[in-house]
Chains A and B, each alone.
Chain A
Amino acid sequence: MSELVRLSDITKVYQGGVTGAVNGVSLTVEEGEFTAVMGPSGSGKSTLLNLIAGLDRPTSGSVSVAGSDLGRMSEAALARFRRDRVGFVFQFFHLLPNLTALENVLIPAQLKSTTSAEASGRELLDQLGIAEVADRYPAKLSGGQQQRVAIARALINKPSLLLADEPTGALDTRSGDQVMELLMELHRSGQTILLVTHDAKLATRYAARVISVLDGKIVDDARLETAERAAADVIRVRGEEARP
């Protein structure tokens, strides 16, 4: 496997406060990995994700994805990078309400001026089990369906990296499980996934690697298959459920 993401001594300081800040983080993600970044609210995990997606710029340090140094890119180049190399799944789906499910899926392709994406879009919806909602507007879809549409949208440009920020956070347990199974399937087919979650059980159940973040620092980086560590160990390191 080759290296896909490299964060080198990343620091992010927000104006007027310290919450959400990242403090001297370095990590790499290999191609094909399913990595979960885990931590409590305000720990800086979403900030890490935004930095990798090129949505935000670090205060210091460098972010490199697929060999490209994001720090050297203009806003327009970052937009092209997101469009071509990254797929993003949000907690609250963020589907455009005035576009149908299929239209939402096609947007990244159309922003890229890919005109023949409709067949791929329908195929994706079919793969994700929601072919029948293609022409419905988001308001007519369940939360689970909306998140599947969002995943299809994230995949339409065949990104190198799929970023998922609390993808089950706005879903009931059943829908959440279905979405995670879907991500798992994608991972099995070779998709690199970086998942941000505060749910330790979810992280350890699906991800092969769990990075724990606390106060803007990586406090643990566990490769579950290789280190043969149980989920409980990870939880203990995070310092939550191990407390009496």
Chain B
Amino acid sequence: MIAVVRKALADLRRRRLQAAVIFLTVFLSMAAGTMAVTLMSQTRDPYQAAFDKQRGAHLQIAYSATTDLQLLAKTPATVGAASSGGPYPVSNIQFKFGDRKFFVDAIGRDNPGGPVEVLNVTSGRWARANDEIVLTRSFAELNKISVGDRVKVVSVAQAPSLTVVGEVVDIDEGSADLSSQRAWVTSATVPALSTPDSAFYLMDYRFAGDPTSAQLQGYIERLRASLPPGSITGSLNYILVRSIFNITNQILTGVLSAFSVFALAATIAIVATLVTGIVISAYREIGIMKAIGFTPTQVVGVFALQIVIPALVACVLGIPVGTLISQPLLANSSHALGLSYEPTFSIGLDVLLLASGVLVVAIAATVPALRAGLLKPIAAIAKAAAPRGTGGRRLRSAAARARLPRPVVLGIGDAFARPLRAALTLITVLLGVATVVVAIGLPRSFLLINNSETGAGNYQVVVNRTGAFADADAMRILNAQPETARVVAVGGKNVTIAGLADPVNTQLFRGDSSRLGYLVIAGRWYSAPGEVIAPAGLLHDAHLKIGDSFTGTADGQPLQFRVVGETYDINNLGHSMFMDIATMASVKPAVEPYRYAVTLVPGADVSAYVRRVSALEPDLLDVHAADNSIIAPVKIIDTVLLVIAAVLALIGVGGVFNTLLLNTRERIQDTATLKALGMSPRQVMVMVAASAGLLALVGGLIAMPVGLSLHHVLNDVISSSAGNDTPPSVYAVFNPLELVLIPLLGVVVAVAAALIPGRWAARTNVVEVLHSE
């Protein structure tokens, strides 16, 4: 064993460059893999821990403000809840802080404790007086509002001012950049903040175990049956909240897992190529080893060990690095949940990863090393090296017929001289280029979806109206502005649909909503009252398809709908409907828009428009430029994709580099002969670069359809996890020129990677090489 280790270590010192290639590829793939596994294993736990600690509500129901409180008091018994909170009076308010205005649900609650939905006060204290308000920490941080600041409620005529006295973490809502937010005041404060349209009651229910989605639906059905029609106006369950909370990490872990498998496959290909190459070039050495007493197993051990040693070092370093990189994401999760951040990792998991990584590399190295074990000593000594690869003849002939320069022709032939090596190299190139395709495509797809959700390019200004300011007045002001080209007014109302327990949020438009930029996946945008367009999540859960008619109820009044199309909307994970506001004409009280998407005439000054309209109604209208910025989680995913693409591209370059190194070493005698015959150093480099270029070109050309398919699949997975189908335009984010340029860029990178082996070959000492024959 000592002899095997010593020989392996000696070989390792001799093959430092190859050891470096193995170290780098294993390190990168292990770091990416560890990050994926750590995120996957740890993301669910912080939420569950916080949910249990804060005795989170499994179900929260919004009841109409007209519901009898005595009936509400009986609802916990109706559903068999282990504990309950409320009914809390709630008002959807708009308050102003500085120049900005915000909508929040102000919940009247006199203390943060209780048997359910404990609110974790992270800063300041709970509200005690009628002019105090408590905000969520994520909302306060996002909007830079601190304890002690004063906000002015502008949704009621009296416009009372409230002092922010505390910040809390609420387990039942997502972070402020993803979800609508709540605030808390004393229950006595709520009436002063309410208008008839904005008030409702909220009740929290917690059950003995964690109920399933079906059980939750059953509870809502039971509540609905026990109360007058229209009593339930909204609901929120912990499964949805958890999904929204985890969606970023879910997408990240999905993407990371897929690409970790890629990295692993590329690593296996590189290891196999390398070991095969070493064995091929070391026949005489193998023969001598056997002649002096190495057993076949020991010979295999020497070759496998010189790969496993750098791989082991790479694993030992890569696993902690992957764990470290995943920590900011986990810390972010902990912070959003109000938990103190503690480094999250599992020693057991890391050991398992280490063992798996080393095992995979050992297997990838041992299989090709078996050839060394099986060689007959005499034959090995006599041959010195394996017969040189003679593949690639047809390619070379074709290149010669094309009258390409001879060094290029020779290089092209060399690229495929050993078909297995070429195939393994193509795999690494393919994986690298395919990942680059995905890393370029997915952010563009995200941007398209982001633009559709934020109306980028379709409207420039968003105006929110408080209940104290009439819709007609708002429209008059907007239409009076010379830069106003189009106004689409937006309202909302929850609708109950048969078969769906949770009331569905609707977007009600007045004006030409088809020009707001929403993506139509199938069918068409609605064109008449009664027609609706909805995301896949709703259509699927309600068993609806395009062309179906169905009945819903709003405020207890029946409504007829017909599905005319499918759209994309991530709100409530695809559970929403879009329609003309006139569809709700029969609902009383009348539904009015509260938001206005304003399209300006080309060339209009958005800031000047915002300033002027704000100045007209500083308290009652909230006017701001449409925010088209990418939300933070998408930025994180884009960044991670970029890093992964760089990793896989680097591994791909490593694969080409490795193969060129093996090819040039193996063909050193041919190169020396060619130099003796008059091949110039530049021509030698051209020959090596041609090999690299061809491998990269073929790999790249195969990789393009693979990358595009992967982009397609990942879009589907991500859309599906957000309750949607993928809009066709989201797939088509590449222009034809790019489809050509990406593989060509791969060729350029590969040719650059060929410089080192190329220079090495160009500097071949003819005399030394030919005399060593």
Chain A positions within 8 Å of B, measured between CB atoms, are: 46, 50, 53, 55-56, 75-76, 79-84, 86, 88, 90, 92, 94-99, 103, 107-108, 110-113, 115, 137, 139, 153, 157
Contact = CB atoms under 8 A, between A and B. Distances in A.
Interface string B735-773: 000000000000000000000000000000011001101
B398 to A, nearest CB: 13
Contact of B766 (A55, A110, A157): A55
A153 B388 contact: no
Contact of A97 (B390, B407, B767, B773): B390
Given A96-B674, A103-B400, A110-B409, 10 more contacts: A53-B676, A107-B406, A107-B674, A108-B677, A110-B405, A111-B683, A112-B678, A137-B390, A139-B390, A157-B678
Contact of A98 (B413, B672, B683): B413
A76 B680 contact: yes
A90 B676 CA distance: 10
B674 A75 contact: no
Contacts of A113: 405
B159 interface: no
Interface in B650-697: 669-670, 672-683
A94 B673 contact: yes
Nearest to A112: B678
Nearest to B773: A92
B676 to A, nearest CB: 5
Most buried by B among A53, A56, A76, A96: A96
The 3 closest A-B pairs by CB, nearest first: A83-B678, A110-B406, A79-B680
Contacts of A94: 669, 672-673, 676, 770, 773
Which of A56, A95, A103, A113 has its CB near the most chain B CB atoms (within 10 A)? A103
A56 B765 CA distance: 8
Contacts of B674: 96, 107, 111
Contacts, number: 87
B376 interface: no
A139 B388 CA distance: 11
Contact of A88 (B417, B669, B677): B677
Contact of B680 (A46, A75, A103): A75
28 contacts: A46-B771, A50-B767, A53-B676, A55-B767, A56-B766, A79-B680, A79-B683, A80-B678, A82-B678, A84-B678, A88-B676, A88-B677, A90-B673, A96-B410, A96-B670, A96-B673, A97-B388, A98-B396, A98-B413, A103-B400, A108-B677, A108-B678, A111-B406, A111-B407, A111-B680, A111-B683, A113-B405, A137-B390
Given A46-B771, A98-B413, A82 B677 contact: yes
Nearest to B684: A79
Contacts of A137: 390
A153 B674 CA distance: 11
A163 B278 CA distance: 35
Contacts of A81: 678
A137 B766 CA distance: 23
Contacts of B392: 98
B558 interface: no
Q: Which of B407, B676, B766, B770 has the most CB of A within 10 A?
A: B676
B211 interface: no
B389 interface: yes
B417 A153 contact: no
Nearest to A82: B678
A110 B407 CA distance: 9
B393 interface: yes
Contacts of A112: 678
Contact of B388 (A55, A75, A98): A98
Nearest to A83: B678
A46 B766 CA distance: 13
A111 B407 CA distance: 7
Contacts of A97: 387-388, 390, 670
Contacts of B406: 107, 110-111
Interface of B: 387-390, 392-393, 396, 400, 403, 405-407, 409-410, 413, 417, 669-670, 672-683, 766-767, 770-771, 773
Given A92-B773, A98-B389, A79 B678 contact: yes
A74 to B, nearest CB: 9
A79 B389 contact: no
A147 to B, nearest CB: 14
Contacts of A98: 388-390, 392-393, 396, 413, 417
Contacts of B767: 50, 55-56
A234 to B, nearest CB: 26
B770 A83 contact: no
Contacts of A75: 680-681
A115 B393 CA distance: 20
Contacts of B673: 90, 94-96
Contacts of A53: 676
Contacts of B390: 97-98, 137, 139
Contacts of A153: 677
A112 B681 CA distance: 14
Contacts of B679: 79, 83, 111
Contacts of A139: 390
A76 B396 CA distance: 25
A82 B683 CA distance: 14
Given A46-B771, A96-B670, A115-B403, A107 B677 contact: yes
B678 A111 contact: yes
Contact of A90 (B389, B409, B770): B770
Contacts of B770: 90, 94
Contact of A79 (B388, B405, B672, B675): B675
Nearest to B682: A76
A80 B680 contact: yes
B771 to A, nearest CB: 7
Contacts of A84: 678
B572 to A, nearest CB: 64
Contacts of A56: 766-767
Determine which residue in A80, A92, A99, A115 has the highest number of CB atoms from chain B within 10 A of its CB, and name it.
A99
Given A55-B766, A90-B770, A94-B669, A82 B389 contact: no
Question: Taking each of B389, B673, B674, B682, which has the highest tally of chain A beta carbons within 10 Å of its own beta carbon?
Answer: B673
Contacts of A110: 405-406, 409
Contacts of A55: 675-676, 766-767
Contacts of A80: 678, 680
Nearest to B670: A96
A103 B396 CA distance: 11
A53 B670 CA distance: 18
Contacts of A79: 675, 678-681, 683
A3 to B, nearest CB: 23
A84 B679 CA distance: 11
A107 B679 CA distance: 9
B677 A76 contact: no
Contacts of A82: 675-678
A98 B399 CA distance: 14
A98 to B, nearest CB: 5
A75 B400 CA distance: 26
Contacts of B409: 110
A108 B679 CA distance: 8
Contacts of B681: 75-76, 79
A103 to B, nearest CB: 8
A210 to B, nearest CB: 23
A59 B229 CA distance: 105
A107 B387 CA distance: 22
B347 to A, nearest CB: 53
A198 to B, nearest CB: 14
Which of A88, A94, A153 has the most B CB atoms < 10 Å from its CB? A94
Nearest to A157: B678
A95 B413 CA distance: 15
Nearest to B413: A98
B677 to A, nearest CB: 5
Nearest to B677: A108
A112 B683 CA distance: 11
